[in-house]
Structure 1
Amino acid sequence: MKKGGDARAAKQFHTKVKTARGRKYSSKLWLERQLNDPYVLRAKQEGYRSRAAFKLSELDDRFHFLKPGMRVADLGAAPGGWVQIALERGASTVVGVDLIEIEPIGNATLMVLDFTEPDAPDRVREALGGPADVVLSDLAPWTTGHKQTDHLRIMSLVEAAAYFAIDTLKPGGVFIAKVFQGGAEGDVLDMLKARFEKVRHAKPDASRAESAETYLVATGFRV
C-alpha cells in the first residue's frame, strides 16, 4: 500500500474532536478519548451498556468466579454492563443497585438505592433471596477534586461493600471491588485476608492504563 494511503487510513481511524466555543479542553480530551477507545467501540458493537463490561469479563476469564445458577449482587451497577456479563455467564439471580435508575436487563432485579443508607444491605439481601455466591462492587463516590477527601470517600465505600460481602456471602463465595491508588487500605485488607482464602489485586486490560483504578479479588470466603 502507498504511504499516502497509510496516512489517510490512520487519519480516518483516529477521530479528532474540534474544540467548540466554551468547551473545556479537558472535556474535549475526554470526548476524543471516548471516540477512539476500542473498548467503547466493542461495547457498542456487542450490545453492552458500557466498556466496563469487559473489565468484569476479563477478571472472570482470569479468576473463574462466575458460574451457572449463582446469586450475584452488583453494587454500583449503572449503567448495567456487569449485570449483563453476570447474566451471560449463567447467574440465575442478579441484583443490581445504584443511585440512578438502570434500564431493565433480562430477569435482573435493578434497584434505585443509596447503598450507604442503613437499611440498604438488608433490602439487597432480601432481593437476593438467599446467600450470595458473588458480591461485586464498582461503587465510586462523587469526587471533590480534593485528593485526601476523595480517597476517604472511596475507601468508605469499599469498606461498606466488604462488610456487606462478609455478611451476605455463602462459604466459598467471592468479593470483587474497585479500589484506587495503592489498593485497599490496610485495615480492610487485613479483615478480608482473615475471611478469604486468597486476596489479590488485579488490573484488567480494559481498565485504562492511566487510570488509578484496580480491582480487589477475594476468593474462598470462610464463614
Structure 2
Amino acid sequence: MAQKSTGQGGSGRGSRELRVKVKTAKGRKLSSTRWLERQLNDPYVARARREGYRGRAAFKLVELDDRFSFLKPGARVVDLGCAPGGWLQVAVERVNALGTKSGKKQGFVLGVDLQEVEPLAGAEVHLLDFLDEGAEDRVKDWLGGTADVVLSDMAASASGHKQTDHLRIMTLCEAAAEFAFDVLEDGGTFVAKVLAGGAEGSLQGLLKQRFAKVHNVKPPASRSDSSEKYVVALGFRGAAEAE
C-alpha cells in the first residue's frame, strides 16, 4: 500500500501514512461526512480503484476463495444480486470464463439482479427477481444445467432499526439458500452474507443438513465495525442424500 511522503526527505520509508480529513460541508450530514472520510482512507477502496474492480467488496470474495478454493476453472457460478459487478469480475477471472487460461477448463458466470448492471466480458447478466416463481428454472436454462457455486452478497434495504434490518437480511439469506438447493450440483458451494445477531441459528441448521461443511467467516476486507460475516457451505448434498 502506497504511503504519502511526510516531506522530510528520503524515500518516506517508515513514515506514517497520512489520513485524509473531510470537513463537514454546508448541507451535508455528519454521517455522510464520516462515510466519505472512511471511503477516502480505506485501503481496499484505493486498491479496487487501482486494480479495476467495481467495488471494495470484490476483495471479500477474493479472500474467501483464497481460503476455500470454490471458484475453480470450469465452474458454473450464479451471483444473486450481482450489482455493481465486483463479485462477477472475481468469478470471471477465477473460473476462466473468458477461456484465456491455456490448459484450463472454461467456466460460466451468470449474474442476476433487480437493476441494470453494466455489461462485463465473460459474464452473462439478466434482470431477474430470484424470488419470482420459476426463477430457478430460468437460471438453469441460462446455465444449461445446474450450478457449481451460488453466491449472494445481497443486503436488504436498511430501515434504520437494527433488529428489523437483521431479520430482513437473514430472511433474504434463507431465501437465497433455498434457491441454491434448487440449482446446485451435488458437491456444490453456497456463499452468502449474513449479519451476526442471534437470528441465524435456523439458517445454520438448514445448511448443516444440506452441506458437508459449513464455515462462518469474517474476511479481512469486511470492515471491523460491521456485523457482517459470510457463511461458506461446501459439499452440497442433493435432496435424496439429505433425506
Please indicate, yes or no, whether the TM-score normalized by the shorter chain is above 0.5: yes
Question: SS at the partner of 1:173?
Answer: strand
User: Between the two proteins, what is the percent identity of the paired residues?
Assistant: 62
Written as runs of structure 1 = structure 2, the 5 A alignment for 1:144-183 is 144-182=159-197
Question: SS at the partner of 1:13?
Answer: coil
Q: Which moved more, 1:112-121 or 1:62-71?
A: 112-121
Give 2:209's aligned residue: 194
- 2:123 and 2:215 map into 1 onto residues whose CA distance is 28
- 1:165 and 1:48 map into 2 onto residues whose CA distance is 26
CA RMSD of aligned residues (A): 2.4
Give 2:94's aligned residue: 89
* 1:98 maps to which of 103, 113, 121: 113
Would you say the 8 A contact 1:183–1:201 is kept in 2?
A: no
Would you say the 8 A contact 2:136–2:182 is kept in 1?
A: no
Give 2:82's aligned residue: 77
What amino acid maps onto 1:167 in structure 2? D
Give 1:207's aligned residue: 222
Give 1:33's aligned residue: 38
Q: Deviations over 1:49-92 (max 9, x none)?
A: 11111000100000111101110000111111110111111262
Question: SS at the partner of 2:67?
Answer: helix
Change (3 A) 1:2 1:124: closer
Q: Which moved more, 1:34-43 or 1:182-191?
A: 182-191
Match status 1:115 vs 2:130 = yes
Q: Which moved more, 1:10-19 or 1:31-40?
A: 10-19
Give 2:63's aligned residue: 58
Question: SS at the partner of 2:150?
Answer: strand
- 2:7 and 2:111 map into 1 onto residues whose CA distance is 51
* 1:45 maps to which of 36, 50, 59: 50
When the two structures are superposed, what TM-score results if normalisation uses the length of structure 1?
0.92
Q: Deviations over 1:151-175 (max 9, x none)?
A: 2211111111101111111111000
Q: Which moved more, 1:78-87 or 1:97-106?
A: 97-106
Would you say the 8 A contact 2:167–2:199 is kept in 1?
A: no
Higher helix proportion: 1
- 1:87 and 1:201 map into 2 onto residues whose CA distance is 24
